[in-house]
Amino acid sequence: MKIPPSELPLQPNGAIYHIGIHPDNLADKVILVGDPGRVPTISAKFDSIEFTNSHRELTTHTGWYKNKRLSVLSTGMGTDNIDIVMTELDALANVDLLKMESKPEHKTLTLVRIGTCGAIQEDIPVGSFIASKQGFGFDGLLQFYEHNSQIYEDLVAHFVEFTGWGERLPYPYCYPADEKLLETIAFDMVQGITASAPGFFGPQGRVVRAQLAFPHLNEKIEAFSYQNQRITNLEMECSAIYGLGNILGHKTLTVCLAIANRVNHDFLKDYNNKMDELITKVLDRI
């Protein structure tokens, strides 16, 4: 079925609309970061760089690291940006952009997010590397798609009951990481459920001046446990990466450096060395 140009727009030169690249500019293994400034930090470790592009906050570098062709792409912040990035990455891999039709053979991308997060358990100190076994979405994005809502249905239902999840809030969803990526990349990291919030301040329980509608929600998130699973950290992208990755048939993993502990009120002001360590681990293991 032909995809109308209004549904998958392209730039005048044929590049995908938001990311601004062509299919041959994208490697099959992609590292996702939020900050455009982190892209050159990672690609500086490459043995060679074959392509660079920047459009809006979406910066792409593609090159070679130890005989592996990799792309690094900044997504910006939030699951709304992930909706754009995941859809366009999949289109670059699986849509013929000249015919505007799905390709007959599906290509699976490997997508690993490197980010920062806030730990929400007292025993996870700042500076820890946390790998997301599941992405638990507070953002509601996946509810706009046909998706397998039975995945972790009991876990989600138990969470909603335990926290007294407000009716005004989007109904949560949960999707897993790729098991092989967890084994090969995150075997020596803290592992747990990562909750993705639709914002940094109120949705993550921070109070500056505006008061919270659910002021005790973080305490309930911290206390939540189901079949020996607990929520380890809060961030803003993982759930959408896992959910759309599952729908579109891609392998996904999120690994984060905990720069804050929300229970202890600790914050790691200078985390460049720890982030460099995490980046190197992912580059060597992806």
Summarize pLDDT for 66-106 with one digit per residue, the tens.
Answer: 999 999 999 999 999 999 999 999 999 999 999 999 999 99
Q: Does residue 58 carry a pLDDT above 90?
A: yes
- Local structure of 61: helix, strand or coil: strand
| pLDDT for position 150 | 80
pLDDT tens-digit map of 32-42: 999 999 999 99
Domains, the chain: 1-107 (3.40.50.1580), 115-286 (3.40.50.1580)
| pLDDT for position 13 | 96
| pLDDT for position 78 | 96
Q: How many CA atoms lie within 13 A of 25 on its CB side?
A: 20
For residues 198-212, average pLDDT: 95
- Classify burial at 119, counting beta carbons within 10 Å of its beta carbon; exposed 0-12, middle 13-18, buried 19 or more: buried
Of 26-35, 163-172, 229-238, minimum mean pLDDT range:
163-172
Determine the Cα–Cα distance for residues 128 and 259; give it in Å rounded to an integer.
8
For residues 260-274, average pLDDT: 95
| pLDDT for position 270 | 94
Determine the Cα–Cα distance for residues 243 and 26; give it in Å rounded to an integer.
21
The pTM for the full model equals 0.97
| pLDDT for position 151 | 84
Q: Strand pairing partners for 193?
A: 134, 231
| pLDDT for position 149 | 79
pLDDT tens-digit map of 119-173: 999 999 999 999 999 999 999 999 999 998 788 999 999 999 999 998 899 999 9
DSSP single-letter state for residue 94: H
Tell me the pLDDT of the chain averaged across its residues: 96
| pLDDT for position 148 | 86
For residue 87, give the nearest of 251, 241, 255 by alpha carbon. 241
DSSP E strand stretches across the chain: 29-33, 48-55, 58-65, 68-74, 95-96, 101-102, 110-119, 129-137, 173-176, 190-196, 225-226, 229-235, 251-261, 266-267
DSSP single-letter state for residue 121: S
DSSP single-letter state for residue 16: B
For residues 21-45, average pLDDT: 98
Of 16-30, 45-59, 148-162, 270-284, minimum mean pLDDT range:
148-162
Sign for the CA dihedral angle at 100, 101, 107, 110 comes to positive
